[in-house]
Amino acid sequence: MKPAPFAYLRPTTLEEALTALAGEPGAKVLAGGQSLVPLLSMRLAAPSMLIDINALPDLGHVTCDEAGVRIGALARHAEVLASVEAAASQPLIARALSHVAHPTIRNRGTTVGSLVHADAAAEMPMVLRLLEGSVDVASVRGRRTIPAAELFAGPLESTLAHDEVAVEAFFPALPAGGGIGFEEIARRHGDYALVGVAAVVTIADGDVVGARVGFVSVSDVPVVVDVTDHLDDPAAAALAELDPAEDIHASADYRAHLVKVLTPRVLADAIHHARTRKQA
């Protein structure tokens, strides 16, 4: 379990990193290493060069304003999870992050890295998609913002070009009248979910005027379903758009069943949250 040979670069400026990345088609960015290093060790990936971004300045931030939460590429899951301001601005971030792996991995793994790793079994890509957030990326060609709806191309595949480094993610704040819910079933605490469900609802005058549900581990890319018009049977509406698959831990039927169990439960939690939440 030792990686194949690779060159290693630890740039101290973003420009240096971007130039190196642009010049080396076989290069990969190394952030927290919690997904990439196991792939290297099992020789499932063999990049010619690792560009370690951990020495880059000014990327470790978790900042909040009225619009929402901005998370720098070097902010660790644990730091995001610990941010009281982030939890106040968008409580779904912390709710979901507490299900991401274990403390030791959260101490090292980055939230932005998790987004661009684009695992449909991972919590944060789905949360970004559900909240309609975005990721800012940089390359020698300039900067751009990728909306969440355009970030996920396929299993473990984001729409970042090879020469792009993700520098920041943006998660919109939960507006007044909004509520969230999250629940997942995993085989062991901290494992990737067999099924995870998150919901965001909007209440106006006591009525649910918006209800969207996002799913983990039941599709190839994070899927979000608008169930505003299906509040009587949101799971059926969701299952029409999901494709639960069988793996060694759960049958497709069981996954579909969990979607049925969790979807109404999480929606009800989100509605309850919206109704009981202290409005700013």
Partner 1 sequence: MTTKLFGTKVARVEDQRFLRGQGRYVDDLLTDDPRLLHAAVLRSPHAHARITDIDVSDVLDVEGVLAVWTYDDLVDAMAEPLPLLIPHPTLTHGRTQYALAKDEVNYVGEAIAFVVAVDRYVAEDAVSRIRVDYDYLEPVVGIAAARAADRLVHDDVPGNIGARMEQETGDARAAIADAPHTLTLELDIERSACTPMEGRGTVARWDPDTSRLTVWSSTQTSTGVRGCVAAKLGLDLAKVDVITPDVGGGFGVKINHPWPEELLVPLAAMTLGRPVKFTEDRREHFISSAHERAQVHHVEVGFDDDGRLLGLNVEFWHDHGAYTPYGLIVPIITSTQLLGPYKPLNYRVVFESLYTNTVIVTPYRGAGRPQGCFVMERTMDAIAAYLGKDRTEVRGTNFIQPDEFPYEHGLVFQDGRELTYDSGDYPASLEKLKALVGWDEFEQFRAEMAAQGRRVGIGLACYVEGTGVGPYEGAHVHIETSGKVKVATGLTSQGQGHQTAFAQIVADTLGVRFEDVEITTGDTRKMPYAVGTFASRAAVMSGSAIHLASLRAREKALRIAAEALEASEEDLEINDGVVSVRGTDASIDLGTVAVLSNPLRYAFDEASKAATQFSVGDPGKPPVAEDDEPGLEGKDFYSPERSTFANGMHAVIVETDPDTAEITILKYAVVHDCGHLINPMIVEGQIHGGVAQGVGGALYERMVYDEAGQLLNASFMDFLMPYVTEVPTTIDIDHLETPSPLNPLGIKGAGEAGVIPSAAVFAAAIEDAEGFPITAMPISPSELFALRLEHADHTTEAATITGI
Ligand X SMILES: Cc1cc2nc3c(=O)[nH]c(=O)nc-3n(C[C@H](O)[C@H](O)[C@H](O)COP(=O)(O)OP(=O)(O)OC[C@H]3O[C@@H](n4cnc5c(N)ncnc54)[C@H](O)[C@@H]3O)c2cc1C
Least distance to partner 1, CB of residue 37, Å: 13
Which of the listed partners (ligand X, partner 1, none) does 254 bind, with a CB threshold of 5 to 8 Å by partner kind?
A: partner 1
Applying CB under 8 A, the site for partner 1 has a residue count of 24
Question: Which of the choices partner 1, ligand X, none does residue 165 contact, using the CB cut-off of 5 to 8 A by kind?
Answer: ligand X
Q: Residue 101 binds what, of ligand X, partner 1, none (CB under 5 to 8 Å, by partner type)?
A: ligand X
Q: Which does 31 bind (CB under 5 to 8 A by kind): ligand X, partner 1, none?
A: ligand X
Q: Kindly report the CA angle at 191 between 187 and 196, in degrees rounded to 5?
A: 80
73 interacts with, out of partner 1, ligand X, none, CB within 5 to 8 A per kind: ligand X
The one-letter code for the residue type at 96 is: A
- Among ligand X, partner 1, none, what does residue 1 contact (CB within 5–8 Å per kind)? partner 1
Structure tokens at 222: 């994070």
- How many Å apart are CA 39 and CA 272, to the nearest integer? 41
Binding residues vs ligand X (CB under 6 A): 28-36, 53, 73, 100-101, 105, 109-110, 112-114, 116-117, 122-124, 160, 165-166, 190-192
Q: Are the C-beta atoms of 139 and 22 separated by less than 8 Å? A: yes
Locate 51 and state its tokens.
């560009």
Task: Please say which residue, 1 or 84, places its beta carbon nearer to partner 1.
Answer: 1
CA distance 164 to 206: 45
Nearest approach in angstroms of CB 122 to ligand X is: 3
Q: Is 280 in the site for partner 1 (CB under 8 A)?
A: no
Q: Residues 188-227: x/- map of binding to partner 1 (CB under 8 A)?
A: xxxx--x---------------------------------
Question: Which residues form the interface with partner 1 (CB under 8 A)?
Answer: 1-5, 42-43, 102, 185, 187-191, 194, 248-251, 253-254, 257-258, 261
